[in-house]
Structure 1
Amino acid sequence: MLKTACLHTEILNVLSKCGHGDKVLIADGNYPIDSNTSKYVEKVYLNLTHGIPLVTDVLKVINEMIKIEKLEVMVPGDNTPPPIFNDFNEIVSSVDHLEKLGRFEFYEACKEENIKLAIATGEQRIYANILLTVGVVQK
Structure 2
Amino acid sequence: MKKGVLLNADISAVISRLGHTDQIVIGDAGLPIPATTTRIDLALTRGVPGFLQVVDVVTQEMQVENAYLAEEIVKNNPQLHEALLVLLTQLEQRQENQIALRYISHEAFKEQTKQSRAVIRSGECSPFANIILGSGVTF
RMSD: 1.8
Match for residue 57 of structure 2 among 34, 55, 61: 61
1:86 aligned onto 2:82: yes
Instruction: Output the amino acid matched with 1:69.
Output: E
Judged with a 3 Å threshold, the aligned counterparts in structure 2 of structure 1 residues 133 and 96 are, in CA distance, closer, same or farther, namely: closer
Matched ranges for 1:119-138 at <5 A: 119-138=120-139
TM-score normalised to the size of structure 1? 0.86
1:27 partnered with 2:30: no
Structure 2 unmatched ranges of 5 or more: 93-97
Query: 1:12-56, CA deviations, whole angstroms, 9 ceiling, x for partnerless residues?
Result: 1111100110001001012112xxx361x2210000000000110
TM-score, normalised with respect to structure 2: 0.86
Kindly tell me: are residues 44 and 38 of structure 1, through their superposed partners in 2, closer, same or farther at Cα, counting changes over 3 Å?
A: same
Count matched residues. 131
Residue identity (%): 27
For residues 134 and 117 of structure 1, the distance between their equivalents in structure 2, rounded to whole angstroms, comes to 12
Aligned partner of residue 110 in structure 1, secondary structure: helix
| Structure 1 spans left out of the alignment, 5+ residues | none
